[in-house]
Amino acid sequence: MSNITKEKLAAEDIAAQLTNAVHEHRLKPGAKLREDEVSDVFGVSRTIVRQALRALAFEGLLTIEKNRGAFVSKPSLKEAHEVFQARALLEPSTARSAAERTTVDDIALLERHIKEEHEALDRDQPGLALKLSGDFHLEIARIADQQTIEQFLKQLVSRSSLVIALYWKRRNALCESNAHHALVDALRSHDGSAAEALMKGHLLDIYSQLDLRECDKGATSLKEALRK
Amino acid sequence: MSNITKEKLAAEDIAAQLTNAVHEHRLKPGAKLREDEVSDVFGVSRTIVRQALRALAFEGLLTIEKNRGAFVSKPSLKEAHEVFQARALLEPSTARSAAERTTVDDIALLERHIKEEHEALDRDQPGLALKLSGDFHLEIARIADQQTIEQFLKQLVSRSSLVIALYWKRRNALCESNAHHALVDALRSHDGSAAEALMKGHLLDIYSQLDLRECDKGATSLKEALRK
DNA sequence: CAGGCATTAATTGTATACAATATGGGTTCG
DNA sequence: CGAACCCATATTGTATACAATTAATGCCTG
């Protein structure tokens, strides 16, 4: 986790590192994050850790149960649906806006992004590839210059990562690179309608690859099942 | 502020009371919330106050400047635009979904809501009326059974309240009750298309009543201008 | 031997003391 | 007279100590 440096880490830094760990599926839904443990790992006081955990709970990445601690969230099937419904409302329109403002620098950035994603897959790091794939979507909101939507999308992408961890059908193949390439093409030619349609289709594509039937996914212990 | 009861208030309660105060424009954009002051008012420790302030900062209601404190946010013109653009993406579609699920109880609740809004206006409490008007929109997301969108909308309504405080043209007349009545009618008859269209128009209506030209609104002091 | 109760350990929640930082006023020097 | 600097004060940031709660273990009893 490369936190060898003894430099003073802020709550923000710790939140970012934990976020990466969850996005890359090194921390799986249901995992508990003890405050002492985290504070030992990062070498900071519990005060700071609590700030970080609380921030991540607001984003939906963690769930804090009173007097019990912080856990990586386990989105229900309903929440999984809601996440992709919300994305379907926000992202296509945002892609359209982005197409009207995309610069050559943006294109270069996006293409580098896709390249890194490929490299991660080649190196057998599907978690990293997934994280980069999420960042790609955030990048489009940034290009559209819509900070408010970008903020929401950040949360939705986070939750999508959890949903994928729980409900993804086949773990090996996430062959979305074509969709991302096509999107970059649409952005490059400032074709808003195409970008909007492509994004819409892309989201439906991901959505359709989720297994929405299974109800007791994950390592749900008997205790957890009985708790609620 | 009716906090006479000495019962132990949680961070959540304090956040709720502060939220009301901002929504009702008793606390105006730019106002500072000193931690000691708030903790004295509510009779709790700064620890709890800080939790509450941080939570409200995540919602966008407050802005926390490092080592300087928490202030009621002052959305920029760009942010004001973004808020209503995001609402335009989320709310019409949500109103459509709501129409398909509205029950008689929901209708009763909404109508009581509108009634209270009227009463508040009659009693010359425009702040309260505005808050109730915002709650009306949240209620529709609840009826649509879309918790994720409701969560985002909560933030957007909060920010809208700030935007209205800063950019509203004429403070006296907020004659939206007609629009809300029409929406309830559409929901009652389960007319999704009508609900969607009405919501779209309603949001545009509010949006058009904002004064988006003035750039140096509010009590921006010279110091604040020079700070950034 | 099973079930429930009590005691104990582990963990989170809260308050407070202390450190770091920003603000404002007053003094001094140009 | 004005501007810049420095010190005193007010306010926020952080760590730590303590309280409250939960979970677990073992004991006692039926």
Give the per-residue pLDDT at A96: 98
Q: Cα separation of A184 and A95, whole Å?
A: 10
Give me the average pLDDT of each 10-residue run along chain A (228 residues): 54 96 95 96 95 97 96 96 97 98 97 92 90 96 98 97 90 69 97 97 92 56 45
Kindly give the pairing relationship between strand B32-33 and strand B69-72: antiparallel
State whether the beta carbon of B149 lies below 7 angstroms from any atom of strand C. no
pLDDT of residue B82: 97
The CA distance from A120 to A170, in Å, is: 18
Q: Among B27-41, B57-71, B202-216, where is mean pLDDT lowest?
A: B202-216
A-proximal residues of B, 125-154, CB under 8 Å? 146-149, 152
The residue type of A11 is A
The more confident residue out of B202 and B215 is B202
pTM for the structure as a whole: 0.90
Sign of CA dihedral B190, B191, B194, B196: positive
- Residue B182: how many CA atoms within 13 Å on its side-chain side? 15
d(CA A115, CA A112) in angstroms, rounded, equals 5
Structure token pair of residue B145:
């059974």
B79 touches B162 (CB < 8 A): no
Strand C closer than 7 A to residue B132 Cβ: no
Look at residues A7, A10, A18 and name the one whose alpha carbon lies nearest to residue A51. Answer: A10
Beta-bridge mates of residue A71: A32, A63
CB contact under 8 A, B86 and A149: yes
The mean pLDDT of chain B is 89
Contact B89 A149 (CB under 8 A): yes
Tell me the three state secondary structure of residue A102: coil
